[in-house]
A and B are shown apart, each in its own frame.
Chain A
Amino acid sequence: MAVVKVQRPKLNAGEKVYFGALLKGMFITLRHAVRSLFGKTPGAKSLKSSGLGVTMQYPEEKWDDQMPEYYRGTPALVTDEQDRERCVSCQLCEFICPPKAIKITPGEIPDGDEWAKVEKRPKEFDIDMIRCIYCGMCEEVCPEQAIYLRPDYVVTGTSRQDMVHDKERLYEIGGKRVGLVNKWNDLK
């Protein structure tokens, strides 16, 4: 690699004084500010500007209709067509979870339960959304297709405890998922 000597541009007297450029710069800034003030910034329309700059006013306006299919929001548990908990608490997600956000207490399904043949399901299933980094490893590792990253991204709470999603909340977010591999069907 040869050394390339970059020649500094020769400036004329006017440019050296710097004032012209300064005023020009301020004029450009000001023009841009005025445009922005009236919502005329380039790209304002395609970015769904609220009329000031290119910014969308978040809680009132949302991108939801443009959310891609593969968007990774909050992880949640899903049930199958027959409302069975898909999770069997194998704890692989707990193991793989990089920030250790998942905590599972496994439990046995008692005899007499409709799904007693599955034998195992989580007694408690907590995901600490303060810790979660939305990496999707849990979804990837799940052998039962029980945990999915849903498009929900609004996770708020007023205390740390609020931010821990328990089993009930996770099923509420996840809902029912049909058309997946059905491992514990009648043939099994």
Chain B
Amino acid sequence: MDLTIHVATLIKIGVFIGITMTFVSICVMFERRFSAIIQDRVGPNRLGIPLSILGFKKDFKLPIGGLTQPLADGLKFILKEDFTPAYVRTFFFWLAPVLVVGPALLTMAVIPFGSPMEIGGKFIPMAIADLNVGPLFIFAIASLAVYGITLAGWSSNSKYPFFGGVRSCAQMISYEIALGLSIIPVLLMFQTLHLGEIVQYQVDHGWLLLPFWGEGLSAQRFLMWIPLFIAFVIFTTSIFAETNRMPFDLPECETELVGGYHTEYSSMKFALFFLGEYAAMVVGSALIVTLFFGGWSIGFGIDNALPIGAWWVSLLHIGVFLGKVTFFILFFILVRWTVPRFRYDQLMNLGWIVFFEAALINVFLAALILAAPHIHGLATTFGFIVLAVITFFLIKIAKSATTKTTVKAI
């Protein structure tokens, strides 16, 4: 390890954390403007640069449609009274917001933002930590966020936050299983856990869900599309649940729990929860893009035509990656303002009875498809039949289970 790598890592930490935080704040802005447009409103469109508070005569009005709103929001949060109620468990009360934001930002470390850049004869990967267990690292760290939320609910020493914390805990644990199982077909396909290599695979063989260019296009590859798509749906939905976004925002659902786990929080501590949620959303989007939509790859076979290692190519790829992430963030927002909130039992049924089983069968299905060229004919057919029978029975069991719970619920 020489100096170049150290310096480059430090710069990468600064730049990528900066990008993430900017994204988070812009996310809030996007969410407000987009939801406003969906609801025939305007949203925050006025804020320019308030020079008058610095002593100037007039405010500087830029035609940027209120893009400085996140700054104003942040300033407001910082300036508000930071109130800690007398009855809370102070240490955990203060710890909780940190435990929510910290993991979300940490997971960003392994995401490859762009193609490697060549500096001084060395290819420097555009990820802060170029780990070869990327997805596992992300799952491991992201799960820690549940501690933050649970602690927030418990330490508030108040009824509704406690409910929120408990719900969040149950929900995140349930969906983590589906989340983990759902990407096994993907990993079977890539045969690696290194996120940089995963993207490179997609550069070479076409994006996972858009296998229309690159090498190795075969009938088997197209057949694989089915389990991969199922994996994508389960993964995306689980990411929604993991980030506590609508339609799975039961830990903080206003109609039932006032503000959920952050009811007792104010000022910057509340802002950190907010930040954590949006950071998780950004990381979730980045992960979906990296796993299913080629990461920083431009696609259509263009990437390999470009001189990999040149600084402008890296920057171009970072731009493409961020564009894709933005698209998914908009998708997150669109879902939030379209789909109504689930009932808690529906949420649990979906997680345990639908997604868990579906992800499980999906693993075998993917394995069978991948193994088909090697084991041939009868074995493959038998495998498919067994899988179909198991699926049928599982659906039967699941159905009876759901009806039973509904009856119980009534």
Seen from chain A, the residues whose Cβ lies within 8 Å of a Cβ on chain B are: 19, 22, 25-26, 28-30, 32-33, 36-37, 41, 44, 50, 52-55, 57
Contacts and interface: CB of A to CB of B under 8 A. Distances in A.
A57 B42 contact: yes
A33 B338 contact: no
Interface in B1-37: 34, 36-37
Contacts of A53: 36-37, 39-42
Nearest to A21: B339
Interface in B25-74: 34, 36-42, 45
Interface string B293-318: 00000000000000000000000000
16 contacts: A19-B233, A25-B339, A26-B334, A26-B338, A28-B338, A29-B334, A29-B337, A30-B334, A33-B37, A50-B42, A52-B37, A53-B36, A54-B40, A55-B40, A55-B41, A55-B42
A41 B339 contact: no
Nearest to A25: B338
B339 A36 contact: no
Contacts of A28: 338
Interface centre among B40, B45, B337, B339 (most CB of A within 10 A): B40
Nearest to B247: A22
Given A22-B339, A25-B338, A26-B334, A33 B42 contact: no
Interface of A is mostly: helix
Given A53-B39, A54-B40, A33 B335 contact: no
A36 B337 contact: no
A55 B233 CA distance: 37
Interface centre among A19, A44, A52, A54 (most CB of B within 10 A): A52
B335 A26 contact: yes
A26 B40 CA distance: 16
Given A22-B339, A25-B339, A36 B40 contact: yes
A41 B40 contact: yes
A181 to B, nearest CB: 47
Nearest to B45: A52
B342 to A, nearest CB: 11
Nearest to A24: B338
B339 A33 contact: no
A36 B39 CA distance: 8
Contacts of A25: 338-339
A119 B37 CA distance: 61
A37 B40 contact: no
B371 to A, nearest CB: 28
A29 B38 contact: yes
